[in-house]
Structure 1
Amino acid sequence: MTQFSVLDLVPVREGGTLSEAFEASVSLAKTADRLGCMRFWVAEHHAMEGIAGGATSVVLAHIGNATSRIRIGSGGIMLPNHTPFQIAEQFGTLDALFPGRIDLGLGRAPGAGPELQRALRKDLHAAAEYFPQDVVELRALLTGDVELPIKATPGLGAKVELWMLGSSLFGAQLAARLGLPYAFAAHFAPDHLDAALELYRRDFQPSEALARPHVMVAMNVFAAGTDDEAETLASSQQQAFVALRTGTPGKLKPPVEGYTTGLPSPQRAMLDHLGQAAAVGSPETVRAKIEAFIERTRADEIILCGSTYDPEARIRSLELTVEACSQTIAA
């Protein structure tokens, strides 16, 4: 049986406010908690007016206060943007506030141009080269498995569940070597999915944290009453993907019926390519596509992605998906 989780970008929609975006994320997290989902993750992005999760640990504290059972965490923290010590303090604090519920998903991609690098006072591309060492240092700051000249308080002794995130073979190799659970970002970068999972499972080395490989894969999922309704619902995120790939990102746009039919062929091809890690349609269609994806990947968990212009529509999509896949979800 496969567990379901939720990934949220804290989208800011056209005509909306930051406060509304944060409250929409809380409502979604409360729904995921009520439905029995395993985790609710927030992604770190910076300097993007349509995504409000830049201060990820602060957003997670807000969500933690509104939920009671579901694990909350980062999907992910881009470690080159920070120091391991800062992240140990932040997530050690979260663990003290919400014991036994905190995940720390780590990514290597700097994801930043020169303006953001200057704002963060870091050479992010150089910092990315030290990512493996920084992961080991961060783990030591939390667990004390390597003696360091300084202790993080909060941080040391925190029961934070570390995850490695990736969209290439690099993350799979590092997760296998360190014995960490692995989450693959197929929702926006599906190219290396099969090879990365094969490498991770083949080379996995057990650790104190994890005895056997554990895989989570991200999917874009939009469920509605009919296939056509779901396709329209998904068009807001499709517009966001196109805007990002063409260098014009902005706030989340309202849905457009038949959006893809008028797109130039390169943009349609890009969306079709991303569709291999997507389930869009009626509950029956979504269930069939998710089950086929699980059969392909043998994922232990599926993390559901997909921003909608109407926050209530995403809540309803999650409810329909969980109900339709109730026989697939782990008890």
Structure 2
Amino acid sequence: MSNLARKKLSDLAYSVLDLVPVLKGGSAGDSIKNTVDLARHAEKWGYKRYWMAEHHNNPGIASSATPVLIGHVAAHTSSIRVGSGGVMLPNHSSLVVAEQFGTLESMFPDRIDLGLGRAPGTDQLTAQALRRDYRSDGQDFPEQLAELRAYFQPDTHAKDTRVRAFPGQGLQIPIWLLGSSGFSAQLAGLLGLPFSFASHFSPENTLPALALYRNSFKPSDVIDKPYSMVSVNVIAADSDEEAQRLATTLQQYHLNIIRNTRGPLEPPVDNIESICNAYEKAYLDQKLAKSIIGSPVTVKAELERFLEETQAEEIMINSQIYEHQARLHSFKIVADILNSEA
């Protein structure tokens, strides 16, 4: 904990997680335009990465073809790193992923990140439609990962392999493991890879997973010490009251998950308790326990607390806010806080 106390917000890199939400009354095309606009602003405000996540069969999320969107955002920005948060590897052939990200890296050198998850990013029926091989349930993720990494090895390491990835072979594309529990945390540690934890929807597992990652870490030719990034919900506004109102959109998003009524992102409401029962409200309180919601003063204090707890090297901000201008303003507030600490 002594190292923890000495960390400051100025030590943090900060990045964006964008689920490319489809708004109620809007279209996927509108959401993609908003994504490009947010990415351009994030680049200007000093955010390090802009990641998008793979989800399927969800009318409220427009990021199902994640590599396509990565290319689109990278083409409309100039310096920010763009990547996947993440690609759900069991849904895909390792060769295809290597070719896709090899192509992206060839188009946008030194700007592409490959974040990998082992969950389906959808329901089981859709997972079957994606994978075709119904036996693929993520348990062979370590083997798939090894296969994928082999495709990026230089030719000298692949001379006995008849199947190779072009583009892909020999390219240095940073690979991250993503997780919401301990499996990928430990695997990332053992392989000496950077690790990103999804605290934005699994807050209760955050500290145990980070401890497991650090305790199992073995230096590699990728990194010589643990590097953790933690994603967290941040809803910032000019006042605590306005931020709490904006956050009812995030609460409704999670309500729709537990009700199995997923749909477009809903506009904020004045009182979340008017549209949920006591059990649902308790679930929201638990699921969003680490979310940071408030005015600049509140957000700064909560970011400091979050850093003290997690010891993260980097934070990734997720902001499920309905109004695009309010979402931009939230990311600007966070950037101003972190830049003022530098």
> Which TM-score band (shorter chain)?
over 0.9
Contact 1:13 1:253 in 2 (8 A): yes
What corresponds to 1:53 in structure 2? 63
Distance 1:115 1:278 in 2: 31
Give, as a single letter, the amino acid of the residue that structure 2 aligns with 1:108: R
Does residue 136 of structure 2 align to residue 98 of structure 1? Answer: no
Contact 2:189 2:218 in 1 (8 A): yes
Give unpaired runs (5+ residues) of structure 2: 1-10
Name the SS of the counterpart of 2:235 in structure 1.
Answer: strand
Does residue 160 of structure 2 align to residue 150 of structure 1? Answer: no
Q: Could you list the per-position Cα deviations for residues 259-286 of structure 1 after superposition, in whole angstroms to 9, with x for gaps in the alignment?
A: 2465312211122113332110101101
What corresponds to 1:108 in structure 2? 118
- Which residue, 290, 301, 306 being the options, matches 1:277? 290
1:20-169 to structure 2, matched below 5 A, reads 20-123=30-133, 126-144=136-154, 147=158, 148-169=161-182
Give, as a single letter, the amino acid of the residue that structure 2 aligns with 1:178: L
What corresponds to 1:242 in structure 2? 255
Relative to structure 2, which stretch is displaced further, 144-153 or 179-188? 144-153
- Which residue, 278, 286, 302 being the options, matches 1:265? 278
Name the SS of the counterpart of 2:293 in structure 1.
Answer: strand
Name the SS of the counterpart of 1:216 in structure 2.
Answer: strand
- Give the structure-2-normalised TM-score: 0.93
Name the SS of the counterpart of 1:221 in structure 2.
Answer: strand
Distance 2:191 2:89 in 1: 16
Distance 2:310 2:27 in 1: 38
Aligned residues: 329
Give unpaired runs (5+ residues) of structure 1: none
1:249-260 to structure 2, matched below 5 A, reads 249-260=262-273
What corresponds to 1:298 in structure 2? 311
Contact 1:2 1:328 in 2 (8 A): no
The alpha carbon displacement at 1:42 in A equals 0.1
Does residue 213 of structure 2 align to residue 200 of structure 1? Answer: yes
Contact 1:105 1:162 in 2 (8 A): yes
Contact 1:110 1:124 in 2 (8 A): no
* 4+ runs deviating over 4 angstroms: none
Give, as a single letter, the amino acid of the residue that structure 2 aligns with 1:119: A
Contact 2:54 2:121 in 1 (8 A): no
Task: Say what the alpha-carbon RMSD is for the aligned residues.
Answer: 1.5
What corresponds to 1:221 in structure 2? 234
Contact 1:7 1:40 in 2 (8 A): yes
Distance 1:306 1:85 in 2: 33
Relative to structure 2, which stretch is displaced further, 143-152 or 248-257? 143-152
Name the SS of the counterpart of 1:276 in structure 2.
Answer: coil
Relative to structure 2, which stretch is displaced further, 6-15 or 136-145? 136-145
Name the SS of the counterpart of 1:325 in structure 2.
Answer: helix
What corresponds to 1:16 in structure 2? 26
Distance 1:64 1:232 in 2: 33
